[in-house]
Amino acid sequence: MEHLNHYPVPALRRFERLPDGFTDAPVEKIGTILPGPSLIRIAGEPGPPIFVSILLHGNETTGFDAMQRLLAGYDAPRRPLPRPVLLFVGNVAAAGQKLRKLDGQADYNRIWHDERYPEHRLAREVLAEVAKAAPLAAIDLHNNTGKNPHYGCVNRLDDATLSLARRFSKTIVWFTEPREVIAIALSKICPSVTLECGVSGNAAGTSHVEQYLRHSLELSAEALFTPPPNHLSDLFHTTARIVVREGLRVEFGAYGGDADLCLREDLESLNFERVPEGAELGRYRAAAPPLVVTDNDGRDITLRYLRFSEERIFTKLPIVPSMFTRDARVIMQDCLGYIMEPYEVKG
Ligand SMILES: [Zn+2]
């Protein structure tokens, strides 16, 4: 396990109104307005709020950009929003460095279950405030580093939850691991969704999220939670996670014989595609298999999905991967990607 907490864990800051300058600040300067992780109440017309979380990963900025534009468009905080918003701005320190997290910090989207890190206290305080506010719905905004479609992730399969995801994208992923994410904790309070908004900084992605948030504030609760027709057409279930064995040097493209593991150049283009059995994922030079696949209970199921033969890696079953990334830092801090299966809701 990583050695964490060279940094003191900041206390949660609470704001009863949107701080001045929030809508104009560049993301890497947000620390000049918010001294750390912050929970901000933004006034709206009477009724329950929408909870939104942004920057749990400091380099995933689409949610921040979209929120700035949304709030500026409504002239907040001078005028009330159509619904109140309870906004959590997560890893302010990492955002200042344009990093997912700083070395020595816990991952801010892995602190919402258990008690392993000092950051859990922060998580508990946020969840207590959210429960007290009794929001109508909760939306956690993220980006991918790899090439992926926009998609919504759900942790429950009820109509309200699926409808939140379907309003963002036809592609929906149901997952139960990692269980330490904020969305799973939120799903015990209200319908919740994680939106994966493509790569950071993409203008079309920002507009899409801004429009989604605007609808979330303006639609009636009934309209928000009524699933559109064919809403389960592209539902996937995450069944396994792929990590690179610790300490290996990873590269992509043509195998030069230098790296311990050389993955195919176009690995990211496999995301959300049906990859057949026998597809080559890369080559390696190591005594032990360089990739480890674990199921949702943490069991090693590498040999169910992958075949290692003559220093080459092949799929052993047809798979649908997601979140395959070429970002070496993300691969080592988090994982190489996930394996999904198309999911049929019965009944
Ligand atoms: Zn993220």
Distance 221 CA to ligand 1 centre (A): 27
Task: Quickly list H helices, the chain.
Answer: 62-73, 92-96, 119-133, 159-166, 182-186, 203-218, 221-224, 302-305, 328-333
Chosen domain end from 181, 202, 232 = 232
- Our count of domains for the chain comes to 2
The pLDDT of residue 203 is 96
Alpha-carbon radius of gyration of the chain: 20
One domain, residues 86 and 205: yes
Contact (CB, 8 A) for 93 and 7: yes
Tell me, what CATH number does 203's domain have?
A: 3.40.630.10
One domain, residues 207 and 58: yes
Distance 95 CA to ligand 1 centre (A): 12
Mode of pairing for the β-strands spanning 250-252 and 306-309 = unpaired
For residue 135, which amino acid is it? P
Contact (CB, 8 A) for 118 and 173: no
Distance 5 CA to ligand 1 centre (A): 20
The pLDDT of residue 346 is 59
Give residue 302's domain range: 239-342
One domain, residues 201 and 114: yes
Instruction: Tell whether the torsion through CA atoms of 17, 20, 25 and 30 is positive or negative.
Output: negative
Contact (CB, 8 A) for 306 and 316: yes
One domain, residues 102 and 176: yes
Tell me the pTM. 0.90
Distance 45 CA to ligand 1 centre (A): 30
The pLDDT of residue 212 is 98
Chosen domain end from 216, 232, 248 = 232
The environment of the single-atom ion ligand 1, i.e. residues with CB closer than 5 A, is 57, 60, 142
Task: Using the predicted structure, report yes or no on whether residue 9 has a pLDDT greater than 90.
Answer: no
How far are the Cα atoms of 52, 95, 149, 211, 232 from residue 87, in angstroms, in the given order?
5, 16, 25, 17, 29
Q: What is the mean pLDDT of residues 10-32?
A: 96
Comparing CA positions, the residue from 30, 223, 32 lying closest to residue 137 is 223
Distance 54 CA to ligand 1 centre (A): 9
Write the pLDDT tens digit of every residue in 210-242: 999 999 999 999 999 987 776 677 899 999 999
One domain, residues 254 and 216: no
Distance 143 CA to ligand 1 centre (A): 6
Determine what percent of the chain is predicted with pLDDT higher than 90: 83
Write the pLDDT tens digit of every residue in 76-133: 999 999 999 999 999 999 999 999 999 999 999 999 998 888 899 999 999 999 999 9
Distance 144 CA to ligand 1 centre (A): 7
One domain, residues 196 and 320: no
User: Residue 347 — pLDDT band, cuts 50, 70, 90?
Assistant: very low
Tell me whether residue 2 is in a domain: no
One domain, residues 329 and 286: yes
Determine what percent of the chain is predicted with pLDDT higher than 70: 97
